[in-house]
């Protein structure tokens, strides 16, 4: 990839000082997202995936803050921008889609008012032009009768339609990067399929880079180009979606794939990873996964797992599962 | 399948008995505006039919699963089956006792202690001020039963330790809390447990632990489950028989193998196609059209016809009834024709 990636995250560390200790919900995470690429970020709750997204867009709730590392948007550092500068980047260059479409829209303003406000904030357009553009944005995300519905309030839309409005809102200023944080978790399966297809189409047509945060491996498999698996604040595995999901090298990824019910059809028991993710305040020494890992050796209990760089390495593990496609297919 | 029946002595005779039967179950909710608004604004009454005319049977020692999207009435059915909601019409019979019409208080009381429920949200269904010991033994203590050593035994049965009895719910993670809920459900020694989305609040690795626990308990204790979920993959793993709900009606019923290999109803086909697949890299799925219609004014005829690619005039006029079609029960006029297509 000779082209500058849309988003580069380098050794990002987010810390929360508490009375007892300093917690690190995001610990030295690095990744790139190229133009038109969808990077899936998966992990269980508490793995730090939403926190990473919020750190990128500069919406960390205090006292959480970025203590080291860099976030580069089109090669320009954005993690140290002053508040007013960052406001211009947000919405204009980075769009955000949140999990709950009901709480991310203002119930007191019509959908059209919210769209035109965002458009005029970022683009130099008259009220009429902004209105036309808002209608176009709604049509693009597949809302039937956009011209008539633009003056409706959010409560008049169903959950799926509301999430389409949120996506239209995130995309109306034509950002280079969209961060979608669990965009389909609150939706039904049939609506989820529609929203995923919509995100993928918009990404392909406009070349928008997408960071898709979710806990659903199925959604990742169908949507993402590359995937980052997170565990206890760190990237455990990073690579092409097909490679990571079918030939996982990190024991955690393998366990995660095995515990999904569809992977073990016909078996009476599901594969299970023993225990649960450690709390941030009580991380084990060495590799954070070692108490649950069946491959752990003495080194894993002492040395912290290796850090993954954005462009090399697959699994942050001292003893990754050695496998490649050729031998796997032969056996 | 063979292992399940073999593990239970006398399975041949018991397998035939029906533990729970539901017949013509209907539930309507009045969602009208307050009386004064109705009079002043001259509005009609608005009645939402959440469940209409649902019938099925659950044989002893089996798991029956209800799947459907939000608004399909699956949780309402679950509540009616444990007696938390009275049905508007129809009846629920558990172990031969009709829950809403049984006259003998004694018989009703006896059957109620055989039914338990596990709820979706393990953070909302445990009293934060109670110790685990009291939470778990409550179903027995409330009836004046002997609770000596009960909490410890149950905690170990669900994979926690006996010392946990003295803790409070906030000291446990989501998966552990759901184990507590299961322990509580088991304390009164029930035969029939209704699980309403028991794992949808849990992460996938924890979900696997809880599902495995439920399978083990079912085999060990010979329990009968009603399993309510929106997740087709979970249902496929757990159920012996699956009912698919759409807008309060059962549209298809079959065993998992049949349902997933040859879905008969166009709605089931749509649901299966829309579910994300772990090996569906870059898959361009056939997209579902439209959304669930307004349950207050459901479409005439088959409720699914506005979204159905195979709808004909008959579907718009006449509501299909559930009937047997090659191993499944399907409510579709064109089930046989579509099989040929």
Q: What is the pLDDT of residues B232-289, one digit of tens each?
A: 888 988 999 999 999 999 999 999 989 998 899 999 998 888 888 887 777 776 778 8
Q: What would the two tokens of residue A191 be?
A: 């609506």
Kindly indicate the confidence band of residue A77, based on its pLDDT and cuts at 50, 70 and 90.
very high
Check CB contact of B276 with chain A, cutoff 8 Å: yes
On the question of pLDDT at A38 being above 70, the answer is: yes
pLDDT > 70 in chain A, percent: 94
Q: Which of A10, A5, A28 is nearest to A316 (CA)?
A: A28
Percent of chain B with pLDDT over 90: 40
| Contact of A238 with A229, CB cutoff 8 Å | yes
Superfamily of domain covering A7-236: P-loop containing nucleotide triphosphate hydrolases (3.40.50.300)
Query: What CA–CA distance (Å, rounded) separates A10 from A31?
Result: 7
Mutation choice for A interface testing from B179, B197, B203 by most A CBs within 10 A: B203
Percent with pLDDT over 90 in chain A? 35
When pLDDT is averaged across residues B79-103 and rounded to a whole number, the result is 89
The tens digit of pLDDT for each residue in B105-133 reads 888 888 888 999 998 888 889 999 999 99
State the pLDDT confidence band at B8, using cuts at 50, 70 and 90: very low
Which one of B159, B219, B237, B246 would you mutate to disrupt binding with A, by most A Cβ within 10 Å of its Cβ? B237
**Using H for helix, E for strand and C for coil, what is the string for chain B?**
CHHHHHCCCCHHHHCCCEEEEEEEEEEEEECCCCHHHHHHHCCCCCEEEEEEEEEEEEECCCEEEEECCCCCCHHHHHHHHHCCCCCCEEEEEECCEECCCCCCHHHHHHHHCCEEEECCCCCCCCCCCCCHHHHHHHHHHCCCCCCCCHHHHHHHHCCCCHHHHHCCHHHCCHHHHHHHHHHHHHHCCCCEEEEECCCCCCCHHHHHHHHHHHHHHHHHHCCEEEEEECCHHHHHHHCCEEEEEECCEEEEEECHHHHHHCCCCHHHHHHHHHCCCCCCCCCCCCCCCCCCCCCCCCCCCCCCHHHCCCCCHHHHHCCCCCEEECCEEECCCCHHHHHHC
State the Cα–Cα distance between residues A309 and A316, nearest whole angstrom. 9
Q: CB–CB of B82/B29 below 8 Å?
A: no
User: Is residue A107 within 8 Å of A155, Cβ to Cβ?
Assistant: yes
Question: What pLDDT score does B285 carry?
Answer: 67
pLDDT at res. A102: 76
Q: What is the pLDDT of residues B148-167, one digit of tens each?
A: 889 999 999 898 888 899 99
Average pLDDT over residues A299-325: 80
Rounded to 5 degrees, what are φ and ψ at B77?
A: -60, -45
Instruction: State residue A67's pLDDT score.
Output: 93
Report the C-alpha gap between A286 and A306 in whole angstroms: 10
Would you say B302 and B275 are in contact if contact means Cβ atoms under 8 Å apart? no
Predicted pLDDT of residue A190: 82
Q: Given this model, what pLDDT does residue B6 score? A: 39
Residues of chain A with Cβ-Cβ distance to B215 below 8 Å are 268-269
CA-nearest residue to A215 within chain B is B203
The model's pLDDT over B20-42, given as tens digits with 9 standing for 90+, comes to 999 999 999 988 888 888 889 88
How are beta strands B63-67 and A76-77 bridged, if at all?
Answer: unpaired
Interface residue of B123, B204, B309 to substitute, partner A, most A CBs within 10 Å: B204
In terms of pLDDT, which residue wins out, A7 or B203?
Answer: A7
Q: Tell me: the pLDDT tens digits for B39-61?
A: 898 888 888 899 999 999 999 99
* Distances from the Cα of A93 to the Cα of A31, A56, B161, angstroms: 18, 12, 52
pLDDT at B13 over 50: no
The answer to whether residue B1 scores a pLDDT higher than 70 is no
| CB nearest to B208's CB, from A194, A241, A270 | A270
Residue pLDDT, tens place only, A276-290: 888 888 888 888 899
Q: What is the mean pLDDT of chain B?
A: 87
pLDDT digits (tens, 9 = 90+) for A115-161: 999 999 888 899 999 999 999 989 888 888 888 889 999 988 888 88
Residue B237 contacts A where some CB pair is shorter than 8 Å = yes
- State the Cα–Cα distance between residues B149 and B135, nearest whole angstrom: 14
Burial of B134 (C-beta count, 10 Å sphere; 0-12/13-18/19+): middle
Per-residue confidence at B336, pLDDT binned at 50, 70, 90? confident
For A280, phi then psi, to 5°, come to -60, -30
Q: Note the pLDDT of residue B153.
A: 92
On whether any CB of chain A is under 8 Å from the CB of B70, the answer is yes
Q: Is the pLDDT of residue B5 over 60?
A: no
Average per-residue pLDDT for chain A: 87
Q: Is B296 exposed, middle or buried (0-12, 13-18, 19+ CB in 10 A)?
A: exposed
Mean pLDDT of A236-249: 90
Does B206 have pLDDT greater than 50? yes
Average pLDDT estimate for B55-68: 93
Question: By C-alpha distance, which of B7, B24, B62 is closest to B242?
Answer: B62
3-state secondary structure of A259: helix
Query: Given CB atoms, is A217 within the 8 Å cutoff of chain B?
Result: yes
Question: For residue range B287-316, what is the model confidence (pLDDT) as tens digits?
Answer: 788 778 888 888 889 999 998 988 899 999
Work out the number of other CB atoms within 10 angstroms of the CB of residue B302.
29
Q: Does a cis peptide bond (omega within 30 degrees of 0) precede residue B53?
A: no
Residue B15: is its pLDDT beyond 50? no
3-state secondary structure of A74: coil
The two tokens of residue A121 are 């904030």
Q: Are B174 and B95 in contact (CB under 8 A)?
A: no
**How many residues appear in chain A?**
331
Which residues of B are less than 8 Å from A257 in CB distance? 278
The C-alpha atoms of residue A183 and residue A141 are separated, in whole angstroms, by 14
Tell me the average pLDDT across B99-108: 85
> In chain A, what residues touch B65 (CB-CB under 8 Å)?
none
* Chain B interface includes A273 (CB < 8 A): yes
CB contact under 8 A, A261 and B275: no
Measured between alpha carbons, how far is A170 from B205 in angstroms, rounded to an integer? 32
Q: Would the pLDDT of A293 be above 50?
A: yes
Q: Which of B204, B208, B275 sits opposite A189 (nearest CB)?
A: B275
């Amino acid at each position: 990839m000779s082209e500058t990636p849309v988003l580069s995250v380098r050794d990002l560390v987010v810390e929360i000082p508490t009375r007892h200790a300093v917690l690190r919900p995001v610990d030295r995470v690095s990744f790139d997202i190229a133009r038109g690429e969808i990077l899936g970020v998966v992990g269980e709750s508490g793995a730090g995936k939403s926190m990473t997204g919020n750190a990128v867009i500069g919406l960390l709730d205090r006292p959480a803050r970025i203590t080291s590392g860099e976030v580069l948007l089109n090669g320009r550092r954005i993690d140290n921008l002053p508040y007013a500068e960052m406001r211009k980047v947000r919405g204009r260059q980075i769009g955000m889609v949140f999990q709950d479409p009901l709480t991310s829209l203002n119930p007191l303003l019509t959908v059209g008012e919210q769209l035109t406000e965002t458009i005029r904030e970022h683009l130099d357009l008259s009220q009429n032009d902004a209105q036309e553009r808002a209608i176009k944005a709604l049509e693009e995300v597949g809302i039937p009768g956009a011209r008539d519905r633009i003056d409706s309030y959010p409560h008049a839309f169903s959950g799926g339609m509301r999430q389409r409005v949120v996506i239209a809102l995130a995309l109306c200023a034509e950002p280079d990067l969209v961060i979608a944080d669990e965009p389909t978790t609150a939706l039904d399966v049939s609506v989820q399929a529609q929203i995923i297809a919509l995100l993928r189409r918009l990404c392909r047509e406009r070349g928008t880079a997408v960071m898709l945060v979710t806990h659903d491996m199925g959604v990742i498999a169908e949507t993402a180009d590359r995937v980052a698996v997170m565990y206890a604040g760190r990237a455990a595995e990073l690579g092409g979606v097909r490679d990571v999901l079918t030939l996982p090298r990190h024991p955690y990824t393998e366990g995660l794939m095995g515990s999904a019910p569809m992977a073990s059809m016909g078996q009476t028991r599901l594969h299970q990873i023993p225990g649960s993710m450690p709390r941030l305040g009580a991380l084990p020494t060495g590799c954070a996964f070692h108490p649950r890992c069946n491959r752990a050796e003495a080194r894993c209990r002492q040395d912290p797992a290796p850090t993954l760089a954005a462009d090399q390495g697959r699994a942050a593990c001292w003893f990754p599962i050695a496998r490649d496609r050729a031998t796997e297919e032969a056996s | 399948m063979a292992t399940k029946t073999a593990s239970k002595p006398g399975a041949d005779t018991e397998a035939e008995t029906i533990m729970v039967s539901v017949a013509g179950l209907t539930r309507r909710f009045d969602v009208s505006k307050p009386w004064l608004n109705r009079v002043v604004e001259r509005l009609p009454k608005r009645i939402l039919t959440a469940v209409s005319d649902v019938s099925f049977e659950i044989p002893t020692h089996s798991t029956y699963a209800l799947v459907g999207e939000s608004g399909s009435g699956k949780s309402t059915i679950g509540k009616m089956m444990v007696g938390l909601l009275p049905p508007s019409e129809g009846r629920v019979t558990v172990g031969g006792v009709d829950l809403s019409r049984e006259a003998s208080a004694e018989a009703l009381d006896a059957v109620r202690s055989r039914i338990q429920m596990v709820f979706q949200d393990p953070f909302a269904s445990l009293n934060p001020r109670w110790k685990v010991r009291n939470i778990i033994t409550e179903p027995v203590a409330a009836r004046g039963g002997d609770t000596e050593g009960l909490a410890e035994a149950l905690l170990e049965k669900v994979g926690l330790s006996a010392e946990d009895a003295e803790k409070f719910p906030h000291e446990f993670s989501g998966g552990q809390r759901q184990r507590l809920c299961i322990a509580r459900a088991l304390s009164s020694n029930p035969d029939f447990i209704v699980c309403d989305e028991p794992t949808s609040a849990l992460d996938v690795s924890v979900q696997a632990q809880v599902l495995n626990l439920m399978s083990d308990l079912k085999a060990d204790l010979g329990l009968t489950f009603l399993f309510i979920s929106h997740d087709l993959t979970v249902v496929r793993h757990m159920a012996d028989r699956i009912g698919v709900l759409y807008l309060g009606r059962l549209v298809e019923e079959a065993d998992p193998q049949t349902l997933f290999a040859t879905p008969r109803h166009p709605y089931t086909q749509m649901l299966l196609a829309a579910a994300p697949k772990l090996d569906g890299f870059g898959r361009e799925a056939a997209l579902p059209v439209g959304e669930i219609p307004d349950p207050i004014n459901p479409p005439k005829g088959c409720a699914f016809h506005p979204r159905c690619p195979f709808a004909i005039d008959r579907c718009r006029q006449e509501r299909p009834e559930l009937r047997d079609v090659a191993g499944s029960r399907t409510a579709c006029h064109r089930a046989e024709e579509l099989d040929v297509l």
